[in-house]
Amino acid sequence: MTLKTSNEKSQEIINMEVLRMAPNKFTLLIIVLLFLFTILVKPANARNDYLQYDSHCQGPTLEPYMEYSQTENIGRGSSTSGYDDDRGTVGIRLRIPLTSTCSKEYRKVFNENALLRQQLEMLKMCSRYKNLELPDQFAEVREKCDGIKRKPEADDK
């Protein structure tokens, strides 16, 4: 049996403390990285303006659904009387929100704003592609942008 000096004992204790602290340092590093991530990250927004509208105004919806479940019961005790249970359901679900912030006036303004957003987006697209020869695949864009021209006084300035 070897006798350890007090210096060797203290060194061994320090090494054990360092090994014990290593997971805490890793955890601290993870926490700091998560904190930096939450500070530096910005929310993603849609590139097209008309895709950013609030959809809290929902009325009744009617949707079809289909469900299928399968269970197996093997029985209990000495009895082996098990059974299989297959169930299928097809139906139509009607959802009606109990509370809503929608009024006829709000829905009218909302629809007008949606139309304006779509028209502004179309103006952006037309200004980008007005000098291009568009093939038949883009016939709809060509038709929608056909009548868009600059005012004569805008060209003089």
> Is residue 48, in this structure, part of any structural domain at all?
no
51 domain residue, yes or no: no
Domain count, the chain: 3
Residue 50 inside a domain? The answer is no
Residue 52 lies inside a defined structural domain of this protein: no
148 falls within a domain? yes
**Do 77 and 108 reside in the same domain of the chain?**
no
Q: Which domain holds residue 144?
A: 104-156
Residues 6 or more apart from 148 whose CB is under 8 A from it? Answer: 123, 126, 127, 130
Cα-flanking dihedrals φ and ψ of residue 93, to 5°? Answer: -110, 130
- The answer to whether 91 and 38 are in contact (CB under 8 A) is no
**If we measure between CA atoms, which residue out of 44, 58, 59, 55 comes closest to residue 114?**
55
127 and 147, same domain (yes or no) = yes
> What tens-digit pLDDT sequence spans the chain (157 residues)?
556 666 777 777 766 666 666 667 778 888 888 988 888 888 776 665 555 555 667 778 899 999 888 877 766 656 556 667 788 889 999 988 887 777 788 888 888 888 888 888 888 888 877 777 878 888 888 888 887 777 777 555 5
Residues 76, 114, single domain; the answer is: no
For residues 68 and 28, membership in a common domain is answered with no
> Do 88 and 112 lie in a common domain?
no
pTM of the complete model: 0.39
